[in-house]
A and B are shown apart, each in its own frame.
Chain A
């Protein structure tokens, strides 16, 4: 029997085990949405904006480890997906984004809602396909899922012309995918792994530096084994939080611009850095010329192009973190580094994350502490800005895939739609969305599908009536010239939530924080929004100013 290209697309998604597809309908994608109308296995989740669809697919992927799928029409639908695709690309999130395209004969004619989406997305995706014939659909879907989910993961775009959606052919899904030009290297070179083990043995001040790659490779257990076996202190980046329990004595917490002094001093003093699925990002290293000047570097990464990109590496190991760590763990023993461990403990004790209570203000850090107290097992989806840093600092993550945030691209507006994807992917978990007043309103429209689906999201807004992180930089580096950051014209988010049809609460006093959080716990027939009106001019510390070395960390203003 012959099927339409759109039906073949949906059947192919089914073969890939896709549960949800997040989309916004439009002209050039109508045959696909039509095919999804009667579909029970692949559930269509209509979002209110394509950016929301791409972030929801991304959040689903981050929470579950499976490939997230977004769907949009041509032209503006496709361009609206772009921010979400770039967000996923920067954090190596497996995603397939499907866009309708105008009829093949119209391509290149400036047809209505036409856009060269392949051209637009070329630098922000792992790979892309333009389908002009329905015969290609099944093979392309199989390849796209294979590419998105293997090697260094990332978004793949399938742009499919409307005639390819409508024309019919027989459906035959490929049993296996073999792409001659794509063979990711997953096993590390044994000689290099042995060299790494030898360096670890010699080191007097070694430290582990683990990133999001550990989470993506499902290598948390192996990382924990390495840490516990060697007893080497460990710092886990913003993207990797939860890969190693932050409550463990060896954990130095997050490094970098707003990381712990302990981790930053350790980098500056270490004689060996073992980087695993981390990429020496500028927000971690600060001024590269002052970064870890005394340390040899071992760098384990699935992406060869990531190694040696920012820092010179002594032992590069290309491979999947899980495989490489399994092999490395066989070669290491407890490190004889007591004085170094003592030094780390001293820094840890001396410089914890801390803040001062100002009068009767609700301090943002206090809100995070209380969220942690009451929702310690939740999946936390943060947005981008000060609240993100405070959440990373004061929430102690102990398991992977419990902390979702846009670390690489730093996309404001990411979190609410991503929380929707995470909640659908993990229906038995509590999903907490920690948002900012600036970022919340960027994708606030996605409250609608969350309410429609009765998702019990806990949406906590850390509302300081400013674009807080930018205001902080203006305070410190632009003589308090608060250009375009004053958000005192914010609407009342509690009332606004009620207008949407959700529960909305407003908290203005410290003593009301806990009761509100407890109340939110009991509301599970839909989202609850709590607008926490916090101290307006609190800053995130510690802080390594941009362009400075990690040793130049500002611990606080006082």
Chain B
């Protein structure tokens, strides 16, 4: 078996009800897994962008690409992993802060990851960290040592570098 790779697909779709279900059931029907998924309207209100991270060998990735393209409501599919691209993800982390010293430490650590404080309570703090997957994983690992109370991730958004056609 050739080796499995992670791929990020940007899928431009008609902004209508039912479209996401078609995209998602394409994966479930074939037993392919979606690692992360992000959907939102674009600057053109009639178009939504789905950013989808999946993995598989070259043949599976090719199948996913072709099947996405085959859906009637899909306007364009781009395999961002095929070129140079930028990707970002946001994570909100709620960390326990039982004493002042721990809070200071957490704030200093947040600084290292350019994290922003978006809420602070006597016993907890909510931080926002933005970055690629590696950075977020590193941040999560560190904050875990202080005790993460709650965590929410957006899933990736991504685009090609440079001008597009």
Contacts and interface: CB of A to CB of B under 8 A. Distances in A.
Contacts of A127: 72-73
A181 interface: yes
Nearest to B30: A123
A305 B59 contact: no
Contacts of B25: 122-123
A330 B79 CA distance: 36
B90 to A, nearest CB: 29
Given A118-B18, A122-B22, A181 B75 contact: yes
Contact of A305 (B22, B63, B74): B63
A182 interface: yes
A179 B72 contact: yes
A119 B14 contact: no
A122 B21 contact: yes
Interface in A280-315: 303-305, 308-309
B31 to A, nearest CB: 13
Interface string A119-146: 1001100111010000000000000000
A123 B29 contact: yes
Contacts of B75: 180-181
Contacts of B13: 181
Contacts of A152: 70
Nearest to B29: A123
Contacts of A304: 66, 69-70
A505 interface: no
Given A122-B21, A130-B18, A308-B62, A181 B73 contact: yes
B72 A181 contact: yes
Interface in A330-373: none
A122 B26 CA distance: 9
A204 B13 CA distance: 47
A305 B72 contact: no
A147 interface: yes
Contacts of A180: 75
Interface in B27-58: 29
Select the residue from A119, A179, A305 with max chain B CB neighbours within 10 A: A305
Interface in A98-121: 118-119
Nearest to A306: B66
A305 B70 contact: yes
A490 to B, nearest CB: 37
Interface string B98-117: 00000000000000000000
Contacts of A147: 72
B29 A305 contact: no
Contact of A308 (B59, B67, B73): B59
A182 B25 CA distance: 19
A123 B66 CA distance: 15
Contacts of B22: 122
A119 B25 CA distance: 10
B154 to A, nearest CB: 26
A308 B67 CA distance: 12
B74 A181 contact: yes
Nearest to B74: A181
Contacts of A126: 72
Contact of B63 (A128, A181, A182, A309): A309
B1 to A, nearest CB: 13
Interface string B52-95: 00000001001100110110111100000000000000000000
B21 A119 contact: yes
Nearest to A180: B75
A293 B90 CA distance: 50
A182 B75 CA distance: 7
A151 B75 CA distance: 16
Given A308-B59, A308-B62, 20 more contacts: A118-B18, A122-B21, A123-B25, A123-B29, A126-B72, A127-B72, A127-B73, A128-B18, A130-B17, A130-B18, A147-B72, A181-B72, A181-B73, A181-B75, A182-B72, A304-B70, A305-B63, A305-B67, A305-B70, A309-B63
Interface of B: 13-14, 17-18, 21-22, 25, 29, 59, 62-63, 66-67, 69-70, 72-75
- Can you list the 6 inter-chain pairs with the closest CB atoms, starting with the nearest? A305-B66, A181-B75, A127-B72, A123-B29, A304-B66, A182-B72
6 contacts: A123-B29, A127-B73, A130-B17, A180-B75, A181-B72, A181-B74
